[in-house]
Structure 1
């Protein structure tokens, strides 16, 4: 269970987030610059709230008066909007970056099969398509067997065919892994297709919440 209740002052408004999330898929929708990615970054530990609490499965990521939990100890999978693959590493090396010193990891082998990237493992990012990069980055995000998965505009660079395929793969992974997933999107159709819940964020405020 994820419990979020914090504030963060941004340039033009105060980000105020308060919600709980079980093993569900949550979509964050809203205009650019509304605070959606900042929320993900606060969960990941890249930035910290000004005050409040972030709690996942009884572990405090952030709490007033305590030192924030280090990024490496949060067990979060994060798929960045630009995928953030290392250009000098192969797809396999990018994936195993989350598992230093290990080359035979059964759950990663299974993920590469689920996501259909087994044949891409020896290629570099510049040698594969946008949809293939997305699946490699998703495999890397899941490689450390996270307790929660964060996705920032995961389908924005994909054509319709690849978007549909990646969405189906995400639903399959969620069914198997049963962890909370939060994804940011500008496409209401994506939110309605994938999410159990939708939160609209505008100027740092949770403007509405819909149960799908």
Structure 2
């Protein structure tokens, strides 16, 4: 169970997070600049909340008056909007970046085969397509067997066919791995098709939307 109750001051308003989730897919929607990515960054540890508490499965990530848990100790996988692949590293090296000094685990082989990128392992990011970069970034986020997966606009740069394939792969991985998935998207259609729940953030305030009636 992820529990996040915190505030973070932003230039135009305060993000006031009140959020809980279990092993489900939750879509975060809302206008640009509303605090969606800041919310993910606070969970990942790249940004620290000003007040409040974040915990996952009883492990405290951040707590008022305490030292935040280090990013590498949170076991959070993060797929950034621009994928953030290292251009000088091969697909294999990118995927194994979070597992330094370790041989390729069997679950990584299974993951890359599932995502259809096994033949690309020795290629560099500039040699693969946008959809292949997206799947490489997803494999990297999952390679460490995270307890929480964060996705920031994971399908926004993909064509319709690739988006459908990647969404189906994500849902299959979620079904098999049973980890919480938190996905920021600007597409309400994508949110409805992918998520179990939809939460809207607007000017730092969070509210759950009925999934059948949700609209931007």
| Alpha-carbon separation, structure 2, partners of 1:50 and 1:149 | 23
Structure 2 counterpart of 1:49: 49
Structure 1 counterpart of 2:183: 183
On the 8 A contact 2:197/2:208 being kept in 1, the answer is: no
Structure 1 counterpart of 2:164: 164
| Alpha-carbon separation, structure 2, partners of 1:188 and 1:43 | 23
| Alpha-carbon separation, structure 1, partners of 2:124 and 2:189 | 32
On the 8 A contact 2:45/2:71 being kept in 1, the answer is: yes
CA distances 1:182-210 after superposition (whole Å, capped 9, x unpaired): 00000001100010000011111114433
What are structure 1's unaligned runs of at least 5 residues?
A: none
CA distances 1:90-121 after superposition (whole Å, capped 9, x unpaired): 00010011111122310000000110000111
| Alpha-carbon separation, structure 2, partners of 1:104 and 1:135 | 17
Structure 2 counterpart of 1:12: 12
On the 8 A contact 2:96/2:104 being kept in 1, the answer is: no
CA distances 1:129-185 after superposition (whole Å, capped 9, x unpaired): 000000000000000000000000000000000000000000000001101000000
Deviates most, 100-109 or 21-30:
100-109
Structure 2 counterpart of 1:107: 107
Structure 2 counterpart of 1:77: 77
Structure 2 counterpart of 1:91: 91
How big is the shift at 1:211? 4.4
What are structure 2's unaligned runs of at least 5 residues?
A: none
1:121 maps onto 2:152 in alignment: no
Structure 1 counterpart of 2:201: 201
| Alpha-carbon separation, structure 2, partners of 1:141 and 1:208 | 26
Structure 1 counterpart of 2:140: 140
CA distances 1:44-97 after superposition (whole Å, capped 9, x unpaired): 000111100101000000111110000010000000000000000000010011
Structure 2 counterpart of 1:22: 22
Structure 1 counterpart of 2:2: 2
| Alpha-carbon separation, structure 1, partners of 2:126 and 2:210 | 39
Question: TM-score normalised to the size of structure 1?
Answer: 0.98
